Amino acid sequence: MNIEPYRQILTKYWGYTSFKPLQEDIIRSVAEGKDTLGLMPTGGGKSITFQVPALAQEGICLVITPLIALMKDQVNRLNDLEIKAIAIHSGMSGEEIDNALENSIFGDYKFLYISPERISTRVFQAKVTRLNLSLVAIDEAHCISQWGYDFRPSYLKIASIRDHISEKVPFLALTASATPQVIDDIMKKLAFRGKNVLRTSFDRKNISYLVRKVEEKGTYLIKTLKKIKGSGIVYVRSRKRCKEVAELLVANGISADFYHAGLTDDLRDKKQASWTIGETRVIIATNAFGMGIDKSEVRFVIHWDIPDCIESYFQESGRAGRDGKPAFAVLLYSPADKSRLTDTIRKKFPAIEKIKDTYEALCNYLQVPLGSGKDNVFDFNMYDFVAKYRLPVIETYNSLQFLQREGYMEFTEEINNPSRVHFIVSRDDLYKFQVANESFDGFIKLLLRSYTGMFSEFVPVNEEALSRKSAASRDTIYQYLVKLSSLNIIRYIPGKKTALVIFTEERLVRKALMISPDNYLNVKEKYEIRMNKMIEYADSESRCRSVYLLNYFGEESDRCGICDICRERNELDLSKYEFDLILEEVKSVLSEKNPDAEELVKLIDSPEERVIKVIRWLLDHNKIVQDEDHKLKWVS
């Protein structure tokens, strides 16, 4: 296969002259029509692997992603490059969705982005057969696996697309992190026509992974940030702490700001841009901060709170050092963190009857009659809901998450949908209207000068921007749009910021709501396993951090030499070879007998002072212990 045409597309639109090694491998595989699973670390350039081959072929690429913000961001970026892309998600009206699908069928669009819950809807199922698909790309592919850390039942519908399209259309599944079990599950659930996994090593040789066991995290953070240079991220688990930590740093003379999903889109964009260009040195953020980060020179990522799984920790830590220069990934950890994390199990898994209570309250709140509601989308105010029914917030949120895992509904985080306008008359009829209605002429010309594409699709508009351009008040702009809509010249959908609930099944009576106790316990057990692996990582005092992380994802590796564990070993002034040789001899001896330290030193065929160093290290890290008679025993 000649890669040159693909390279020319890369250069034309993105300005790069060559692909990263794995990008080229994936593009070759997809171009040859093979179903492909690509494992690429955070910041590895996943979107290039489907965008370039799609541009090199006729037809449209279907991109499935659960992240509405990411979907909008990529569509905007492609449109800025004059590549036609369109999105369908749950925040759109039925008319908008129908219009977008018709444009995808008859227009010269190259990319159709869709959220997974839309796949099983009647309108999509009816029209997918008419799409001239060249490729199906599935982002966040780990969501299809019940073994994964973010399972979504809507992903299980993706394989059904194969029944409606040519068998020649390949599937490309992409994820930043997956264990061997999840990898196999992804290929099975997407009905791959053959096993085909392409991956780079997860090994980040420039990142020094450190666990710092501290009680006073604020004091440690201030001291550390005053000592080291460069820009970075501090991840916390709550919006409240976000602001508190940022204020603490600012009060101590450190340039910092906070970021979480509760802020407006404009404010989040402003804060992220300020950090990206270096005006703000440290951003304190929840896990909402991550999408679209385009900053390679991040010198540190610090976790104030311990995440609940290795996958999340690895992905967030991987935002450090993308420029290949030395960087740090630091986990601040205290004994109280372990109990707080284990306590989340109780909150994350409400009793089954409590989940059913939440379901019934939700149906009543949204006024969904029995036997109806399937595929319906509802605006949803979580705080109003819990206040009205006097429900505990965290337990209710996790009940909704569990109902989503069981496939009864989809629940999106709060999303911001801008206002949209679509002209529903032809240009000729619009001209006649303008001639006959002079009072609207200036405003219509303002719309047409400010935005393009409104005759073929719904286009986002900004009432504030139109107000500034025209020197008219925002309310005047709004009234013009409402009036034109009532006259059937345009369709106007005012913007709103809201969470959404989508019923994927009709409302059921309580006794028909099946939440299998076995499934409930299975999900809970898998969560506990992932959480305990995270705690084990934090507690470990003897195993190289990098080796631990890589082993979790099924990779073998030598000691990194730069994590906190390896640095402590390095202080012994022994090479890795010498240390491991003595360690293996000690382990061999203690598997057969239990001498005291003096006897053990004599039994090891290495210089005495070096053997003593290793034994002392093994005792300090509880790899060997002494009994009351000072006899040594291997315990790990």
**Mean pLDDT, residues 556-569:** 86
pLDDT at 177: 83
- Lowest mean per-residue pLDDT among 85-89, 432-436, 570-574: 570-574
**Mean pLDDT, residues 383-391:** 93
At the second CATH level, the architecture of 572-634 is Orthogonal Bundle (1.10)
pLDDT classification of 264: cutoffs 50, 70, 90: confident
pLDDT at 278: 92
pLDDT classification of 602: cutoffs 50, 70, 90: confident
Residue 131 above 80 pLDDT? yes
Name the CATH topology of 207-333+540-550: Rossmann fold (3.40.50)
Q: In this structure, what are the phi and psi dihedrals at residue 280, rounded to the nearest 5 degrees?
A: -105, 130
Across all residues in the chain, what is the average pLDDT?
Answer: 89
Which homologous superfamily does the CATH classification assign to the domain defined by 4-199? P-loop containing nucleotide triphosphate hydrolases (3.40.50.300)
pLDDT classification of 261: cutoffs 50, 70, 90: confident
pLDDT at 292: 66
DSSP string, 392-405: -HHHHHHHHHHHHH
CA-CA-CA-CA dihedral for 394, 397, 402, 408, to nearest 10: 160
- Lowest mean per-residue pLDDT among 53-67, 526-540, 584-598: 584-598
- Lowest mean per-residue pLDDT among 41-50, 210-219, 371-380, 479-488: 41-50
**Mean pLDDT, residues 305-318:** 92
pLDDT at 490: 94
pLDDT at 313: 94
User: Are residues 425 and 517 in contact, defined by beta-carbon separation less than 8 angstroms?
Assistant: no
Residue 489: both structure tokens together: 């010249």
Residue 613 above 90 pLDDT? no
CATH label, 342-417+499-528, candidates 3.30.70.20, 3.40.50.1000, 1.10.10.10, 3.10.580.10: 1.10.10.10
Q: Find the largest Cα–Cα distance for the chain.
A: 106
- Lowest mean per-residue pLDDT among 53-57, 465-469, 539-543: 539-543
pLDDT at 294: 74
pLDDT at 482: 94
Beta-sheet pairing, 197-199 with 60-64: unpaired
Q: Extract the runs of DSSP E, i.e. beta strands, from 45-169.
A: 60-64, 85-88, 111-114, 133-138
pLDDT at 265: 76
pLDDT at 424: 93
pLDDT tens-digit series, residues 95-111 = 889 999 999 998 889 99
pLDDT classification of 303: cutoffs 50, 70, 90: very high
Residue 114 above 90 pLDDT? yes
Residue 584 above 90 pLDDT? no
Hey, CA dihedral for 610, 613, 618, 619, is it positive or negative? positive
pLDDT at 478: 93
As a whole number of angstroms, the distance between CA 431 and CA 442 comes to 12
pLDDT at 614: 83
pLDDT classification of 71: cutoffs 50, 70, 90: confident
pLDDT at 433: 94
Question: pLDDT exceeding 90 applies to what percent of the chain?
Answer: 55
- Lowest mean per-residue pLDDT among 13-27, 138-152, 346-360: 138-152
pLDDT at 360: 95
pLDDT tens-digit series, residues 4-14 = 999 999 999 99
pLDDT classification of 571: cutoffs 50, 70, 90: low
pLDDT tens-digit series, residues 175-192 = 988 889 999 999 999 999
pLDDT at 541: 83
Rg (CA), the chain: 28
As a whole number of angstroms, the distance between CA 583 and CA 569 comes to 12
pLDDT at 636: 63
pLDDT classification of 291: cutoffs 50, 70, 90: low
Residue 480 above 90 pLDDT? yes
Q: Extract the runs of DSSP E, i.e. beta strands, from 41-132.
A: 60-64, 85-88, 111-114
- What pTM was estimated for this model as a whole? 0.79
pLDDT classification of 254: cutoffs 50, 70, 90: very high
**Mean pLDDT, residues 477-506:** 90
As a whole number of angstroms, the distance between CA 550 and CA 569 comes to 19
As a whole number of angstroms, the distance between CA 624 and CA 600 comes to 12
Task: Give the number of other Cβ atoms within 10 Å of residue 576's Cβ.
Answer: 14
As a whole number of angstroms, the distance between CA 242 and CA 286 comes to 7
